[in-house]
Amino acid sequence: MASKSSAEYYSNFKEMSTIRAIAETMMNDHKVRKVTLAEAYEMAKQQPGVTETDMPIYPKFARMHGMPEGAKVLNDCHGNIIGRTAKARRFYHRLPSDQKNKIEGDFREAIWQMQHYDLIKAEAVLGMDKNLMLKATFITTTTDVVNLYNWLLNFAPYESVQAEYEASPKLPIQDIILIAFNEWTCNDPFYNNVGAPQLALVDEKHNVIVNLGMRYFGERKKGTLTLAWTSGIRIGMAACHGGIKEIDFSTCKDSAKHKLGKRSIAFYGLSGTGKSSHTNNADNAGTLPEGFSKVVLHDDAFQIDLANKICRVWEPTLFDKTDSRDLKHPDWKYCLALMNHAIIDYEGKRWPIGLDVRNSNGRALLDRDLLGAHVNTCAFPKALVWLMKDTVLPPVIRITNKYLAIAMGAALMTQRNRAENVTEDELKKLVFEPFANPFRVYELYRDVEAFLAVADNGADFYCFNSRGYWKESDEKLEAIPLTTSLTMQTAILTDQLEWEAWDMLPGAMIPTSASIEKILPGYYEKYHPQKRSNMADYINLLKDRFAQRIDFLKGSDVKEKPETLEQLVNALQIKA
């Protein structure tokens, strides 16, 4: 399905927001020149801050998109800002009317400034499946062409999927418009200022993102993707900032496994919790049965289509941190573009160093072929896993109460650490990122309702603790190796585990001794909740962590759905 132009979408143009009207006018300015991926590549090579390396762009991608013979990876260094800036965000529809009026005027002024520069635009399609495709247009200055080029690499250049897109039935969603202007000047303290003003303006109801005074590519990519996720929510799907893979057991050497068929499992977690490790691992540390086959949908972003019980992917690429990839890492084979990397003379060639040598948050755009076999749609998830570094949780729990399952996702947490130079009291406070999605721009209750529908459609829910489990204190923990978690993932997919109630948290279950000891000998004794030392302290911390979850949900917009909130809160009660 395809999105609609403004002319197609608005039967009454008075319903169009002022922000979209300004963006639409800019998009249709006759002086804005449309460029292709190949043109953007040639222009980007000349942009200040951009280095042409001697690393070839992944050849399969280059051939597919008609790039010049011998095209090389470009490295773009952004300056002082090397990550996304949350403080720069302004959500248009949350502003009071006087601030809306102000920001509309300031946007018009920014556009007037922008029109004194040479302007370009490009078109892309978000969504790799013909039943979920959105058209997007990116307008910017020629001085920002490398971001336009990387944006085309990240999504699908319109020309590459034009026939498929135009044959798709229409969705009740507007095309996306992205406008960026790095040279914006404004001295107003209303805006975030780091030596120059910054604005990331979001109009999610009318599918417009504006980046003013912001060079970092991640603002363009995640801003565009945010509107895609939100569009999916608007048509009744669940937005997923997570990874998902599908295992086919019908090809296993052991014919007894064939009855399992195909099973998808999804992982949601914040940075460092193991989302990519669980999604991308080749064979779950050797625990998957011989002869299985695996496909990955994506390790970062997808949508669950509830009506058709299927998952659909938005992007053909990965936007990965490269702090663990050294000079000779095999992943460079799949590289399309780099951001904020050191470049060295290596054997007479310009070559990138990963490892965050130049600065933190070095990034690469990588072709999805890095994941091995991949698909654009996969089965509705058999299992969804919340990955949390919460020391009061056993290594794995199965959640049979759907309200507890969704409450744990809606109050998905992380913690401060001592490296952040905060007080001991601050260290005790949880930081919540619902459903591990910092890019949600709509009400939380919409995600809650969407994931309740996922539960109603038959998905099972689990929590994996990826930090360590209380042994003697919140500091002295039983380690939970990744291999243990990967083994449990396989056990879940293959129905090897039996479950018993965790009496401290009604609606949650832990593996039985008989079933887990066959798989991980010694697990039951090491990780059983009743085996914690300093039990009174453990229970106090357990109660405190869940009380913080309750307080967070009570303070969120889920209170606009009081019956749902009550069910979530009641499910989070510790009985100990």
Looking at residue 419, what is its pLDDT?
54
| Residue type (1 letter), 513 | S
Residue 422 pLDDT: 60
Nearest-angstrom CA–CA distance, 116 and 327? 42
Which two three-digit tokens encode residue 551? 């307080």
Give me the residues of the chain with pLDDT under 70, please: 1, 417-422
Could you tell me the two tokens for 561?
């759905």
Residue-level pLDDT at 271: 83
Instruction: State the pLDDT at residue 421.
Output: 63
CATH 3.40.449.10, applies to 2-236: yes
Specify the DSSP class assigned to residue 486: H
Phi and psi torsions of 33, nearest 5°: -90, 130
Residue with tokens 């499946």: 129
End-to-end CA distance of the chain: 51
Q: Which CATH architecture has domain 242-299+380-571?
A: Alpha-Beta Complex (3.90)
Domain ranges of the chain: 2-236, 242-299+380-571, 319-368
Identify which of 210, 208, 245 has the alpha carbon closest to the alpha carbon of residue 230.
Answer: 208
Biggest alpha carbon distance in the chain? 73
Please give the single-letter amino acid code of residue 256.
A
Sign of the CA dihedral with 436 first, then 92, 20, and 107 last:
negative
Element (H, E) at 8: helix 6-9
Which H or E element spans position 106? helix 97-114
